[in-house]
Amino acid sequence: MTTGQYHGRLRRLGVRRRLSAAFTAGVIATAAVLLAPQPAAAETPWLNVSPDRYASFAVPAAYVQEQLGTVSQVVVEGNFGPSASWAEFGLTRRGDVWSGVLGALEPGLYTYQLTADDTLTIKDPTNSTSVASNPLLSTFLVAGDSARWLVDVPSGTGGTVETLTYRARNAQRSALVWTPPGYSAKGPKGYPTLLLQSGAGDAATDWLDLGRAKQILDNLSAAGAMSPMVVVITNADAADDRELKDLRKAVTDNYRVLRDPAHQAIAGVADGGAQALRAALTRAGQFGYVGWFSGTSAPEIDRKDAKAINRGVKLLRLYTGNVTDPAHNTTYRLTKALDRADVRFEFDGVNPDGGATWTTWQENLVDFLPRLFRPVQDHGPSPGHQPLKREFTPPPAGTTPTPFVTEDGFVTFETTTDFADAQHVTVWANVAPGGSWLRLPLTRDGDRWRATVGPLKPWFYYYRLIVDRVAVKDTSNPTKVTTEPMWSTFFIPGPGARLLSDVPAGQGGKVESMTYTSTVAGQDRTALVWTPPGYDPGRAQPYPVLYLQHGGGQNYTDWVEMGRAKQILDHQFLDGDLTPMVVVMGNGNSSNFNRELRENIVPTARARYHVSSDPSQQALAGLSMGGGQAFGVLRAYPGEFAYVAAFSAGFGSGTGVDVEAINNGTTMLRLYVGDQTDFVYPSFMASLTTLNDLGIRYEFDGVTPGPHGWDVWQKNLIDLAPRLFKR
């Protein structure tokens, strides 16, 4: 596999992926693929990227209807997933627009297309960028220091890319040639040459459109970080011995280059990397420098050839991504084979955050180019790269519950055999930046669907399967979410997620059910109550109490099942950060929450548990709807709860608010909200203006990175709980 993650949609539609440079002027023809006309310059862009790296999509529903007919869903497919893998970001129909916000994105180049109902794909007609090998794709660059080599240099200061046409095997071929700034066809001194190959079946132009090779070469050249050279970019299909011979002759005939092997380099991605290695090792002495970027296969290496190889090859440097890169295991076996044969090589280490994607190969090129045709002091791996200790093989299909999680955060999802006839299966999970949701495509593996993704940072994750646009529970995963029967959960341990992990057995607090009669609902209801370790119902001083509310569409079970409230409170208590308190998680689904809380939940808690009725020892907090309910109680009954907090909720109108009573009766009013991906962010920020205008005192924790979701609210509780009852 080479760039299959970038052409996953086309592959599923059966479009052949053998795309040469000549495809630049071509057209993909298939019933499910529609190429949109280019828009007028004044047309409103569908994509806007903010300076703080959030990508906002707004796709007119009328355009989708006109091009594709009536559809039930629209997604943006792009390299947004873990390790820059291909993933689907679902848009929401709001009025006459399909829209969504994704971010904050890491700096880098992103590639995307729009797809409706799994099979109907269109290009963003408002984005003038293009990918010659796939006219459906558009790109956008998110600026940042880690992507500094990918930006365009000032006009007129970079090198030049032109097409070299030549004959090989009595047929016309073409390659792309970058010449450095100041290059002249005449002069006393020749230039060294790098032959840079794409993967087999892909276009040479991919190195420009997806690999940003010109920008990388221009920037490294401008920084003086590489030797001046001529770079010839080809398709790996043209890399057998005879093709190479014809191409190299054409280069020497048309460019002022040096011909000796010490000034010749070859590198490539995937199949191109494999062919580069084969060309260098099977005929030692052709190339002095060799780069293997996620190569797919390696030639047999005979120990008797080691001396000739070591004598002729000044540098053989290997690169691979993490376990999601198909080259990971191949590279491991190659390093062992080279060691056994006594062939000298360098290994850049495993890129822990990169798979078989152009994002990884861009980094490979940036590392490789400065090592060519000049002395280099540093021969070790790139910063942060890791040793390659073993091959990675997930458990055989059907032998382990899903998901299978490795210690370094790679997750293998697998379906049962129930979906053998499905056409499109994804895992929808909170794996995007900040905990937003992406759909990760699974691939068919016999009568199951499977994929390994990652690395995911240590945290708590929840997901469901989407099978041909229908949500399905992963029945192989025994976890459950009471209010969302389709969801399953899993946990990745690590220092960053310690507060969400279970404490040792017997050391934490207890969670009990508290049943009460609701005079508002006219039925018995249940709350969950956390009591701290060592809870003593007979102690002299009643315990402070926090009433913690859920959001809309949720219930009293969610703070325990999804919010990890027990784990958070247990850890903070054992760490000595938490004032011993009782936490009551009630049912907020009520036509009159103020009455439900004051007439039912609070009196029952006081009757069953040794909790205080002193306002200074009472707190009320909630998320989303629950946050709005907390505001409602604050407005109607200021001073009953000295501590009030709202997560992702707005204050509402300033009409009829007793500001003096709120300020005098509230010890702490603390507010939280997610980032631009939290849909209440605009109304929340408007609420701050309202509070400021009214003169209500409050604390704002600042934006919590993430959406209107549990990743944000877990962090809000982590921040809030230790602040209670300490003033």
What CATH code is assigned to 149-371? 3.40.50.1820
Which residues of the chain does CATH 2.60.40.10 include? 4-143, 404-438+445-493
The arithmetic mean of pLDDT across residues 303-330, rounded, is 95
- Sequence-distant (6+) residues with CB within 8 A of 692 are none
Amino acid at 534: G
Task: Give CA–CA dist 297/240, Å, rounded.
Answer: 15
Task: Give CA–CA dist 71/61, Å, rounded.
Answer: 10
Q: Let me know if domain 499-723 sits in CATH 3.40.50.1820.
A: yes
CB contact at 8 A, 397 and 446: yes
pLDDT at residue number 41:
39
Q: Where are the beta strands (DSSP E) in 322-416?
A: 346-350, 404-405, 411-414
Task: Record the tokens describing residue 283, joined without a space.
Answer: 């005929």
Task: Record the tokens describing residue 538, joined without a space.
Answer: 């007979």
**pLDDT tens track for 188-242:** 899 999 999 998 778 899 999 999 999 999 999 999 999 999 999 998 765 567 8
Using CA atoms, how far residue 586 sits from 480, 524, 546, 600, 605, in Å, is 19, 12, 11, 10, 10
pLDDT at residue number 368:
98
Label residue 166 exposed, middle or buried (CB < 10 Å: 0-12, 13-18, 19+): middle
Task: Give CA–CA dist 487/466, Å, rounded.
Answer: 11
The superfamily CATH assigns to domain 4-143 is Immunoglobulins (2.60.40.10)
**pLDDT tens track for 540-559:** 999 999 999 999 999 999 99
Q: How confident is the model at residue 171 (pLDDT cuts 50, 70, 90)?
A: confident
Instruction: Kindly provide the b/e burial profile for residues 377-405, where b requires at least 16 CB atoms within 10 angstroms of the residue's own CB.
Output: eeeebeeebeebeeebebeebeeeebbbb
184 pLDDT above the threshold of 60: yes
CA atoms within 13 A on the CB side of 112: 28
Task: Record the tokens describing residue 473, joined without a space.
Answer: 């529970």
Amino acid at 694: L
**pLDDT tens track for 435-472:** 999 999 999 999 999 999 999 999 999 999 999 999 99
Label residue 200 exposed, middle or buried (CB < 10 Å: 0-12, 13-18, 19+): buried
Task: Give CA–CA dist 365/156, Å, rounded.
Answer: 23
**pLDDT tens track for 90-99:** 999 999 999 9
Task: Give CA–CA dist 100/90, Å, rounded.
Answer: 7
Q: What is the DSSP string of 135-182?
A: TT-EEEEE-SGGGGGGSPPPTTSS-EEEEEEEEETTEEEEEEEEE-TT
pLDDT at residue number 238:
52
The arithmetic mean of pLDDT across residues 582-586, rounded, is 98
Return phi, psi of residue 600, to 5°: -125, -60
Q: How far is CA 176 from the centre of its chain?
A: 32
CB contact at 8 A, 123 and 33: no
30 pLDDT above the threshold of 80: no
Task: Give CA–CA dist 481/710, Å, rounded.
Answer: 13
31 pLDDT above the threshold of 80: no
Tokens 């280490």, located at residue: 349
pLDDT at residue number 351:
97
pLDDT at residue number 9:
34
**pLDDT tens track for 648-661:** 999 999 999 999 99
* Whole-number percent of the chain with pLDDT over 70: 94
Using CA atoms, how far residue 121 sits from 136, 152, 505, 591, in Å, is 8, 29, 52, 44
pLDDT at residue number 493:
96
pTM for this one?
0.91
Q: How far is CA 600 from the centre of its chain?
A: 44
* DSSP class of 289: E
pLDDT at residue number 429:
98
Judged by average pLDDT, the poorest of 57-61, 72-76, 398-402 is: 398-402
Bridge partner residues of 618 (DSSP): 545
Which residues of the chain does CATH 3.40.50.1820 include? 149-371, 499-723
**pLDDT tens track for 386-400:** 999 999 998 888 887
Amino acid at 626: G
Tokens 């820059």, located at residue: 84
Rg of the chain, C-alpha, whole Å: 30
Nearest to 641 by CA among 509, 549, 536: 549
17 pLDDT above the threshold of 80: no
Return phi, psi of residue 89, to 5°: -110, 115
Using CA atoms, how far residue 52 sits from 102, 676, 706, in Å, is 11, 10, 13
* Whole-number percent of the chain with pLDDT over 90: 87
Three-state SS at 385? coil
Percent of residues in the chain assigned helix, strand, coil, to nearest 5: 30, 25, 45
Task: Give CA–CA dist 189/609, Å, rounded.
Answer: 89
Tokens 């994509």, located at residue: 47
Task: Give CA–CA dist 53/527, Å, rounded.
Answer: 41
Task: Record the tokens describing residue 131, joined without a space.
Answer: 């990918």
297 pLDDT above the threshold of 50: yes
- Sequence-distant (6+) residues with CB within 8 A of 192 are 227, 229, 230, 257, 258, 263, 264, 265, 372, 373
CATH topology of domain 404-438+445-493: Immunoglobulin-like (2.60.40)
Q: What's the 3-state SS for 510-531?
A: EEEEEEEEECCCCEEEEEEEEE
Task: Please give the mean pLDDT across all residues of the chain.
Answer: 92
Q: What's the 3-state SS for 617-641?
A: HEEEEEECHHHHHHHHHHHHCCCCC
